[in-house]
């Protein structure tokens, strides 16, 4: 069954198609060493097998097996250079608008509270009972803004009434869970206008739910123009062998660099390898990542952003962290600072130049954006590490090393070729299984190339690894 599943993900086919290929595709029979008259299992057996893998925590089985072969054959050294990048993976759940989310949320709360039962339903208002009878959108002119606004008002009113009913069932954990979900949807998607009427909120909440089918799906971006709904895959590759060492699903709505350290931990735990260098794009080169990598003896090769107006950017100022001074490009120095908080709530110093000094500078309009103060410079918690990274970024050694990162793009393209861009399943657990088994298929293909067709050696390695 493992072999069938591996070929299924490699060829990116459905369960039914996988069984059909077992019947009629000689390539599959040869790959699996099956006789021509082999009778394949029913397609539902693949679903059962996946369920057993998940139940016993073996989602990573095939991937780990390929890593073990690569290590035994000597293709993977004990200490590795890891290339890392993310790819977007579209979710399998239905993406739903605010109206649908609220409507289905009301229905879920009512059903969880038992109001679908005839005995409980007698005390339910007709407006709320309608959500149990009908799960379709309201029959209105959806192109009419006034009609949409009126429908939103009805939905919010009914949602609040439903939440009031849910309070009576607060001892039921299922009711609490779905009521919290409905409350979150209202908080993320709905705001009030000046008259107190509900309206769709502007912008997108940071952790907005986009689907009640798959609650773990999120809005994501790979660039300003490339948007998607689903999750991201952190794809990690060993530099020399070009074998994948990690394929981990992460939320779509977070920056690529946030999960660098968890991915490193997972790679080291899963493969038994030691990561001594990481090469990633600028998203991974945060000050916190650099500090943690430095503590662990990991060389993080990642560029810092180049400012648009370099003459007045923070990088143009001379920051002496030990002396606690900041000097501007015109030679003026500030020695006093005030305490502010960074995004993590940590105390960091801010140096502010006298406004009269700044006003006399020819670059005042470009440099100072405050209406009351002079230019201010806030130091990062790990300012010295960032300064060292900028100096290194100018060296030939960095430029040569960073060019190696492009191999990760090729590996992502290969994963895309085998269907990893689209999730087959609902939820992160099964998406992890898909990612790991697709990665195992990609690694198997790479192992054949690394063995240079020496099937005897490959057979011996497979026997040695059990």
Are 249 and 89 in contact by the 8 Å Cβ rule? The answer is: yes
Determine the average pLDDT of the residues in 156-182: 92
Query: Among 12, 58, 45, 97, which Cα is nearest to 430's?
Result: 58
Structure tokens at 171: 């001892």
Distances (CA, A) of 198 to 157, 186, 303: 9, 10, 45
Which pTM does this prediction carry? Answer: 0.88
Structure tokens at 415: 């994963």
Residue 108: in which H helix or E strand, if any? helix 98-112
The Cα–Cα gap between 289 and 305 comes to 15
Query: Among 154, 48, 59, which Cα is nearest to 99's?
Result: 154
Each domain of the chain, given as residue ranges in start order, spans 1-58, 60-94+222-303+385-466, 98-200, 322-378
The CATH classification number of 60-94+222-303+385-466 equals 3.30.420.10
CA angle 352–343–338, rounded 5-degree value: 25
Q: What is the pLDDT of residues 266-286, one digit of tens each?
A: 999 999 999 999 999 999 999
Mean pLDDT for the chain overall: 92
Helix (H, G, I), strand (E, B) or coil at 205: coil
pLDDT of residue 456: 83
Distances (CA, A) of 426 to 92, 115, 121, 396, 441: 6, 27, 31, 46, 22
pLDDT of residue 206: 84
Structure tokens at 54: 């998940």
pLDDT of residue 390 exceeding 90: yes
pLDDT tier at 203 (50, 70, 90 boundaries)? confident
pLDDT of residue 457 exceeding 90: no
Structure tokens at 387: 């300064």
pLDDT tier at 204 (50, 70, 90 boundaries)? confident
pLDDT of residue 219: 93
Helix (H, G, I), strand (E, B) or coil at 332: coil
pLDDT of residue 364: 92
Are 229 and 90 in contact by the 8 Å Cβ rule? The answer is: yes
pLDDT of residue 464 exceeding 90: no
Residue 171: DSSP 8-state: T
pLDDT tier at 26 (50, 70, 90 boundaries)? very high
CB atoms within 10 A of CB 61: 16
Q: What is the pLDDT of residues 111-139, one digit of tens each?
A: 999 888 887 777 788 889 898 888 889 89
Are 300 and 289 in contact by the 8 Å Cβ rule? The answer is: yes
pLDDT of residue 104: 95
Which phi and psi angles does 325 have, rounded to 5°?
A: -135, 155
Helix and strand counts by DSSP (H, E) for the chain = 19, 14
Structure tokens at 155: 């939905």
pLDDT of residue 115: 87
* C-alpha distance across the termini of the chain, in Å: 17
pLDDT of residue 289: 95
pLDDT tier at 453 (50, 70, 90 boundaries)? confident
Determine the average pLDDT of the residues in 376-395: 93
Q: What is the pLDDT of residues 37-81, one digit of tens each?
A: 899 999 999 999 999 999 999 999 999 999 999 999 999 999 999
Percent of the chain with pLDDT over 90: 78
CA angle 212–216–221, rounded 5-degree value: 110
């Amino acid at each position: 069954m493992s072999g069938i599943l591996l070929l299924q993900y490699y060829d990116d086919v459905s369960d039914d198609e996988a069984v059909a290929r077992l019947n009629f595709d000689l390539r599959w029979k040869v790959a699996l060493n099956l006789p021509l008259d082999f009778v394949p299992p029913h397609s539902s057996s693949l679903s059962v097998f996946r369920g057993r893998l998940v139940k016993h925590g073996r989602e990573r089985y095939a991937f780990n097996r390929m890593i073990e072969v690569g290590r035994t054959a000597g293709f993977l050294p004990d200490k590795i250079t890891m290339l890392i990048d993310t790819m977007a993976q579209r979710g399998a759940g239905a993406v739903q608008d605010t109206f649908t989310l609220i409507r289905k949320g009301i229905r879920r709360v009512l059903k969880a509270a038992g109001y679908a039962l005839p005995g409980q339903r007698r005390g339910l208002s007709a407006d709320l009972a309608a959500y149990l009878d009908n799960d379709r959108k309201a029959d209105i002119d959806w192109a009419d803004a006034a009609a949409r606004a009126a429908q939103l008002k009805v939905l919010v009113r009914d949602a609040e009434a439903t939440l009031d009913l849910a309070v009576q069932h607060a001892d039921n954990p299922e009711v609490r869970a779905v009521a919290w979900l409905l409350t979150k949807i209202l908080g993320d998607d709905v705001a009030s206008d000046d008259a107190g009427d509900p309206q769709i909120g502007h912008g997108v909440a940071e952790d907005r739910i986009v689907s009640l089918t798959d609650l773990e799906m999120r809005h994501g971006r790979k660039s300003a123009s490339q948007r998607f709904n689903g999750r991201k895959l952190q794809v990690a590759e060993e530099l020399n062998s070009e074998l994948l060492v990690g394929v981990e699903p992460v939320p779509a709505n977070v920056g690529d660099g946030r999960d660098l350290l968890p991915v490193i931990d997972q790679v080291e735990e899963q493969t038994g390898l030691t990561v001594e260098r990481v090469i990633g794009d600028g998203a991974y080169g945060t000050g916190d990542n650099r500090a943690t990598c430095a503590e662990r003896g990991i060389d993080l090769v990642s560029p810092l952003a180049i400012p648009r107006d370099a003459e007045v950017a923070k990088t143009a100022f001379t920051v002496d962290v030990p002396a606690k001074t900041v000097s501007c490009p015109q030679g003026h120095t500030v020695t006093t600072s005030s305490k502010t908080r960074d995004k993590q709530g940590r105390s960091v110093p801010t140096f502010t130049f006298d406004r009269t000094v700044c006003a006399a500078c020819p670059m005042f309009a470009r440099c100072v954006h405050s209406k009351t103060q002079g230019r201010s410079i806030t130091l990062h918690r790990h300012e010295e590490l960032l300064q060292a990274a900028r100096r290194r970024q100018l060296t030939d050694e960095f430029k040569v090393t960073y060019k190696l990162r492009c191999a990760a793009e090729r590996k992502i393209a290969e994963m895309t070729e085998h269907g990893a861009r689209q999730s087959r399943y609902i939820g992160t657990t099964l998406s992890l299984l898909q990612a790991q088994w697709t990665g195992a298929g990609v690694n198997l293909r790479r192992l054949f190339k690394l063995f240079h067709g020496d099937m005897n050696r490959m057979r011996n390695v497979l026997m040695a690894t059990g």
